[in-house]
Amino acid sequence: MKKNIITIIALCGLINTIEAKQFGSTIHFEYNQARHKSSIEAFNQALNDAEIVVVDFFATWCGPCKTLGPCIDALAKELNSIKFIKVDVDQHKQIANQYNIKSMPTLKFFKNGVEKKTLIGIQSKAVIKRTIDELS
């Protein structure tokens, strides 16, 4: 059975999805000089790694993001078939700009690599689950 994954994209702007280290339900990507991808390439690849992907665009200084974080973590543990990705907008401005992120937190929902829905601000667990169910 595939474990649910929370992906944190956040090291030096360069990450390698092959060189991931798992810590509980979180996977941290680390830079590998021999085989590296830009953060945007790795992010785009991660969007296609599962049928449904939820991306949490956050900032470490953002109060509402800190409130939403535990809800996302709980859903990641609960929903095994959904992939959750966390993107720190300060670390990955290029990704945030590509997806026109203006407010945090912003949740983007993808199905088969295609963006389907966006929720801005703090959301309840029920709203997030209902949005995921709509995509299923």
Q: How confident is the model at residue 19 (pLDDT cuts 50, 70, 90)?
A: very low
CATH code of domain 6-135: 3.40.30.10
Q: Where are the domains of the chain?
A: 6-135
Which residue among the candidates 27, 65, 76, 132 is catalytic per the annotation?
A: 65
At 8 the pLDDT is 44
At 37 the pLDDT is 59
Phi first, then psi, for residue 2 (nearest 5°) are: -75, 130
Average pLDDT over residues 117-129: 97
65 noted as active-site residue? yes
For the chain, what is the radius of gyration of the CA atoms? 14
pLDDT per residue as tens digits for the range 51-73: 999 999 999 999 999 999 999 99
Which residue among the candidates 5, 50, 62, 75 is catalytic per the annotation?
A: 62
Q: Flag whether pLDDT at 119 surpasses 90.
A: yes
Note the helical H segments in 4-116.
39-47, 63-78, 93-98
12 noted as active-site residue? no
